Structure 1
Amino acid sequence: MSTQKFSSLTKMLSAFLFFLLSLPTFAQQATWIWYPGDYEVWLGNKMQNRRTERGSFLPPFWKLDSHYNLMDFHKDFNLSSPEEVEIFVEGQYNVKIDGKAFAGYPKKITVPAGKHRINLKVFCQDRVPSIFVKGKTIVSDSTWLVTFEDKEWIDETGKASDQSGTTWLKAGSWNFNSPLTPPSKFALATKEQFAVKTERNAKSILVDFGKETFGFIKLKGLKGKGNLTIYYGESKEEALSAEHCETLDNLEINQIQKKDSIMDLTKAFRYVNVVYDGSVSVDSLSMLYEYLPVTERGNFKCSDDQINKIYDVAKYTFHLNTREFFIDGIKRDRWIWSGDAYQSYLMNYYLFFDAPTVKRTLLALRGKDPVTSHINTIMDYTFYWFLGIYDYYQHTGDKEFIKQLYPRMQTLMEYCLGRRNKNGMMEGLAGDWIFIDWAEGLSKKGEVSFEQLLLTRSLETMALCANIANDSQGAEKYKNIGSELKTKFFANYWNNEKHAFVHSQVDGKQTENVTRYANMFAIFFNYLDESKKQEIKNNVLLNDKIQKITTPYMRFYELEALCALGEQSYVLKEMKDYWGGMLNLGATSFWEEYNPTKKGSEHYGMYGREFGKSLCHAWGASPIYLLGKYYLGVKPLSPAYETYLIEPQLGGLKWMEGSVPTPKGDVKLTVSDKKITVSGADSGTGTLRFKSAIKPSCKQGIVKEISPKNYELTVEKGKEYMVEYETIK
């Protein structure tokens, strides 16, 4: 390069640097912070205690923990100049710089130049102790350290201890980025919606909102003196059943002037029947629809209109049950059940990819030490909690969350291991609920194979997370226990004559019963060789003599296992029959249970109650997951989609298109029997894998034949590829 050109380039770089230095310095983002997990526990308690049945309060069945009342926050700063800092706090507090306290409750402090430690100590019982600190460079965020016990002490001279053995964690936060919106004031969004049909009688109004929905009923122009009752119904029959509807509101009205009135508690409904007496009158009804604002990133569309309808209703079902946390159903139970939540995590990765709601739900479910029972008191739900952490890491690669959660994982796993029997197996003890599924006559006695399988996978999760947390001794321990249990599982439950795993052992002997549960999970856990997979497929999954599954909950896993075996064509028909069956009966969201043999209002009953069944249950939305993972065929091969697989399967469809979200960008696909168009995510490397009857071609990349009629194409980040091929008939 010539001296003149070099000089010119130097001047340009100097000018650019001067421009950068002259730009104004913007303040970093401040946010409300708290002890990690405490806000989630507090908010979970608040949400789960809103359930009512016919006006009576109905709390959860399990132990509820509380947040820590006294919290210590601190962070070290090195300032080039003095800085004024604003302070906002939920609770009573004091503020110190380098151990020296300010008088009173300062709203602003000035931090001198140099190295300093800012410390806030906060006490609050009715809310979570939280702080919001905002200066030019000093802001509250997840880099602050917190503890619920500082373990300080002083000697007889008044000198404070210079070390305390305290465990400090990085602060928790969400998206409360304004000092005027503290965490305790959080509320879901609402918008007014109106009925599609209204029927008036002399002393009643029946309204139909057109589809399953959730929110606050608003009575407009309410006037008079007397009693008013609102009967809510997911079905018309339920709203009209004054004696048996699950939820209602009773009001005493005494007002001269017309007034609008909004109910205090949210309810689930499609139909609302308002009945009143005396001189009471109501002009009209509307509702405030309550929802968590989330962005749909995943989508799916195909040549089959019924599948498209199933996908859309599944999305709506999942939206309704995605709230402060992932809940089971909007009518009941409106609680955080770990088994339900686990499926919601998986559906979430293919629709919203909303990591914060996954973390909130995991934290709320885990609660605090000491561990005195299984999560939700259900053995299998404890294991689903571990599986949820495994999948969270695979999809997000979030090591910091794993590191902070790991001590709570350890104490929960030690509780589980301490409840094994003399054979080293899980067997129900007093206080243990072994759920598995709602299935008539399903035995829970002895050592149930399904529970051993879930514990094995949970131990593998522990070994993985131990390595992330730099606990090599723990990793080795959990790996060894898991390997030993896996060996026992195959030795104790596989039956060569039945070509399947049996359901349980009682008194050291195999029972005769074969159920689908352990068999199908062993398939998508990838624990089996090809021979055993085929044996299970033919003798269990495709065998009508084996007790059928009637809940969407376990249909989720049954169809996943069949998809993992390449049975997409069969699964497509099952989706159309099962979820399509609910649509044919007028469902606008998917149910807790569907049995095609039932007739009419029989479909609404459960738990011995005429309208006990939830007609909007999160586990009914599983087509979101199945269509994203096993038809579009996108899944991570390494954490955070650094490498991922794209293995589209039409399964009898003529064409399909859609997108699957990743931590950075979406994988987009259009597939027909002759062409595949794929766009890579904004990071990571994908592998497109497909079969073709002819030699495929692609101008944008090199297609490699990995075995006869099986091909692969590397998909680079942000690039689009078009492959011409021909499906094998």
Structure 2
Amino acid sequence: MTSSEAVFAQKASWIWYPGDYEVWMSNRMQNRRTERGSFLPPFWKLDSHYVLIDFHKDFVLDAPETANVYVEGQYNLKIDGKALPGYPKKIEVPAGKHRVSLKIYNQASVPAVFIEGKHVFTDTSWRVTYEDKEWIDASGKTSDISSTKYFPAGSWNFQDPKLAPSAFRLPVQEQKAADVQKEDHHFFADFGKETFGYVKLHNLKGKGKIKIYYGESKEEALDTQKGELADEIEVNQPEAADYTLEGSRAFRYVNIQFEGLSANDVSMLYEYNPETRRGSFKCSDEEINKIYDVAAYTLQLNTREFFIDGIKRDRWVWSGDAYQSYLMNYYLFFDSPEVTHTLLALRGKDPVTSHINTIMDYTFYWFLGIYDYYRYTGDQAFIKNHYEQMQTLMNFCLKRRDQDGLMEGLPGDWVFIDWADGLSKQGQVSFEQLLLCRSLETVALCAKIAGEQADAVTYDAQASDLKKKLFSYYWNQDKHAFVHSRINGKATDNVTRYTNMFAVFFDYLNEQQRQDVKKYVLLNNQVPKITTPYMRFYELEALCALGDQAKVLKEMKDYWGGMLKLGATSFWEEYNPAKSGAEHYAMYGRPFGKSLCHAWGASPIYLLGKYYLGVKPETAGYETYRIEPVLGGLQWMEGTVPTPKGDIKVYCSKVEMKISAAAGNGVLRFKSKSKPSCKGAIIKSLGNGKYEMAVSGGKDYQIKYSAI
């Protein structure tokens, strides 16, 4: 996969029923998880692809044309409704208007087709369905009327007819260890940093066992009893030859023990998604630069076939983790297909029988992912094609509301929120109502895009009603904040950070409420602190949205810098500075249960791009955008933010800004002690030291000013 869009107007591609490949591939990927050699499947229901698919497209040709045909599955191919004999590898399409159609059956993998001709070729303009609802009368005539609903075909950028979708693998690259300590029948290798791939033994010879213990830390690799990942393999190799293990693993250190075997070296095949880093950030603070680089590497490692949570333990597609990866992705790779692939893999099939990943809030994060995807990309086609899936998932949620019209955990629901000791999940939790409210707003927006105006009115009304309840039931004037929950119809006195900080960047609060939340919640040490990077992401976003980038910069240096001081080469699932030594690696009651490379640990990418460089879309797909640089205690900073229309580049010091954008129309907003100037542009004063300037694509701007 690359960041190319999955629409190939002039090039043939493998196609299938939309969403099916994501479901099939995610099943295959998520069922690779092992713990010490034991298979550990996901906790939730897994769907499957449709096994029989109908494909068709109408062509108008000026001249006859021959096209090659490649298919995954058994198939029946027709031209103008007339079946061709056997399994043709070529088709002859006459001049004029003709329909090419075929049905493909495949139980093992996704029914897929690749047709390659000059004008007759497969792409996402083909129409597909999993049920054609046709019927034949007594004379043998096929019905003229059908209720069949066809959809645009699904596709990734698989444009090699000889490389079938079911054979897809991420690429690998051989890498040497930074250090290998060799003893008789024992290697201990350090690859220098967190990595992912396949261990390769060189000149392995003999008959016996190989025991391999992997570690994100040296302590884990040395603990042969309690490390999370281990393999034991029987080998019979009379002649010396290289041997690559079948299973991909996460590690930095590898402890290899030979019984009856010998080898002369060890390396690895690094497995990766070849993403291009379009986004960048550099500043006057070298520690922040290091934090950004390690965050980018962390996200890179966790960007695989889909956005996953962590490379060691789960390697699953969790909606809450993925949602944060989407946001970071918009400021680093801007790989739109990776977002849609992950969204579709998480959504699965109808009927909906449980929350995504069984977690109530993770269902709502799925909707939030849709909201932001449209905001950053402007991709209306995706919204229209998958609106029904949004609607059926939302209807599932609405049917589970209680007598007050609120969400409350029912049997089988996991109310997660965060990993936090003593955090109540009982009753009507305000955080879940807040997420549902934003989800309703999302589906209303999508209904409008899909042309379903009546639905839009209904969902807008439900969102408005829920927002009123949110303030009526949970806002406590004395505490200047939302309380955590209601139990038996009565609001508790407990204040937590979650609902309050989300309400800030959802823009649900008036200015007085925003300042109250900042003072009485976010800056109040009496409110339980957040220890996971997962929720620290949102806490720091709320502070940035409130204009406190200076505090956030210090928090980043303390929190992420704290991990770097402990030798982290990727960012962790959780960090508590009060712990020491190997205590840092423990989680879930296991000494090495914590993931030391977790996607949600990479949030500085998003914060630095959106709230320091200050680049964000004002309208969908960056048709219009805002640039609002905030140094936040830095002397200078520079960076690039990718958009669908090209890159936006920002340089900012205390006396100068340089702005350029590839395309579109934006607005630069900033503060200055003195009157600013820019050759070739008009700077408008907004009063109180605030200024605004229009930015046009294709132009370079140099602004002289004096930072406040």
Q: Secondary structure at the match of 1:452?
A: helix
Q: Is 1:180 aligned to 2:187, yes or no? A: no
Instruction: Name 1:11's counterpart in structure 2.
Output: none
SS at match of 2:262: coil
Q: How big is the shift at 1:202?
A: 2.9
Tell me what 1:721 maps to.
Answer: 701
Deviation digits for residues 548-575 of structure 1, max 9, x if unmatched?
A: 1010000000000000000000000000
For 1:104, what is the secondary structure of its paired residue? coil
- Partners of 1:707 and 1:91 in 2: how far apart? 67
Out of 221-230 and 139-148, give the one that drifted further: 221-230
Matched, 1:92 2:74: yes
- Aligned structure 1 segments of 4 or more residues deviating by more than 6 angstroms: none
CA distance in 1, matches of 2:672, 2:234: 71
The partner residue of 2:689 within 684, 694, 709 is 709
Whether 1:108 aligns to 2:90 is: yes
Shift of 1:513: 1.0
Q: Which amino acid aligns with 1:721?
A: Y
CA deviations 1:288-325 (Å, max 9, x no partner) are 00000111000000000000000000000000000000
Q: Secondary structure at the match of 1:475?
A: helix
2:522 paired with 1:541: yes
TM-score (norm 1): 0.95
In the alignment, the residues of structure 2 paired with residue 385 and residue 252 of structure 1 have an alpha-carbon distance, to the nearest angstrom, of 43
Instruction: Say which SS state the counterpart of residue 640 (structure 2) adopts.
Output: strand
Q: Deviations over 1:394-434 (max 9, x none)?
A: 11110000001100000000000000000000000000000
2:331 maps to which of 308, 326, 350: 350
Shift of residue 254 of structure 1? 2.4
Matches within 5 A, 1:103-182: 103-182=85-164
Pick the aligned partner of 1:457 from 438, 455, 470. Answer: 438
Kept after mapping to 2: 8 A contact 1:221/1:282: yes
1:615 is aligned to: 596
- Identity within the alignment, %: 67
- Looking at structure 1, the residues matched to 215 and 701 of structure 2 have their Cα atoms a distance apart, in angstroms, of 50
Equivalent residue for 2:471? 490
2:56 maps to which of 74, 78, 83: 74
Deviation at 1:511, TM superposition (A): 1.0
Q: Is the 8 A contact 1:96 1:120 kept in 2?
A: yes
**Whole-angstrom CA distance in 2 between matches of 1:370 and 1:210:** 47
Letter of the structure 2 residue corresponding to residue 30 of structure 1: A
Q: Is 1:338 paired with 2:319?
A: yes
CA drift at 1:94: 1.1
1:527 has 2:508 as partner: yes
CA drift of 1:221 comes to: 1.1
Cα distance between partner residues in 1 of 2:689 and 2:11 = 53
CA distance in 1, matches of 2:349, 2:133: 19
Q: TM-score, normalised by structure 2?
A: 0.98
Report the counterpart of residue 37 of structure 2 in structure 1: 55
Q: Report the alpha carbon displacement of residue 204 of structure 1 after superposing the two structures with TM.
A: 1.2
Q: Cα deviation per residue 1:132-158 (whole Å; 9 max; x = unaligned)?
A: 111111110000000000011000110
Query: What does residue 269 of structure 1 align with?
Result: 251
Give the AA of the match of 2:659: V
Alignment deviations for residues 515-574 of structure 1 (CA, whole Å, 9 cap, x no partner): 000000000000001100111101110111111101000000000000000000000000
Q: Is 1:599 aligned to residue 593 of structure 2?
A: no
Instruction: Show the counterpart of 1:645.
Output: 626
* Aligned position for 2:486: 505
CA radius of gyration, larger in: 1
> How far does residue 718 in structure 1 lie from its aligned partner after superposition?
1.2
After TM superposition, give the deviation of residue 260 of structure 1 in Å.
1.2
Partner in structure 1 of residue 273 of structure 2? 292
Letter in 1 for 2:315: R
Distance (Å, rounded) in 2 between the aligned partners of 1:140 and 1:48: 29
Q: Distance in 2 between matches of 1:60 and 1:700?
A: 58
1:410 matched residue in structure 2: 391
Q: CA deviation at 1:327?
A: 0.2
| d(CA) in 1 for partners of 2:497, 2:519 | 12
1:28 CA displacement: 3.4
2:6 corresponds to which residue? Answer: none
SS in 2 for 1:277: strand
Q: Which moved more, 1:138-147 or 1:246-255?
A: 246-255
Q: Which moved more, 1:216-225 or 1:144-153?
A: 216-225
Partner of 1:470: 451
1:693 matches 2:673: yes
How many residue pairs end up in the alignment? 701
1:517 to 490, 495, 498: 498
Match of 1:441 in 2: 422
How far is the alpha carbon of 1:86 from its aligned partner?
Answer: 1.2
Instruction: Give 1:419's aligned amino acid.
Output: R
Aligned to 2:4: none
Kindly state the Cα deviation for residue 85 of structure 1 after the two structures are TM-superposed: 1.5
SS at match of 1:350: helix
Deviation of 1:226 (Å): 2.2
2:189 to 175, 192, 207: 207
For 2:225, the equivalent position in structure 1 comes to 243
Give how far 1:249 is off.
0.9
Q: What secondary structure is seen at the aligned counterpart in 2 of 1:316?
A: helix
Tell me the distance in 2 between the aligned counterparts of 1:116 and 1:195. Answer: 59
Kindly provide the amino acid, as one letter, of the partner of residue 532 in structure 2.
T
Whether the 8 Å contact between 1:28 and 1:136 is mirrored in structure 2 is no
Cα distance between partner residues in 2 of 1:163 and 1:336 = 41
Mean CA deviation greater in 615-624 or 103-112: 103-112
Q: Secondary structure of the residue that 2:44 maps to in structure 1?
A: coil
- Stretches of structure 2 that go unaligned for 5 or more consecutive residues are 1-8
Counterparts in 2 of 1:624-639, with a 5 A limit? 624-639=605-620
Match of residue 400 from structure 1: 381
Contact map agreement 1:700 1:722 (CA 8 A) in 2: no
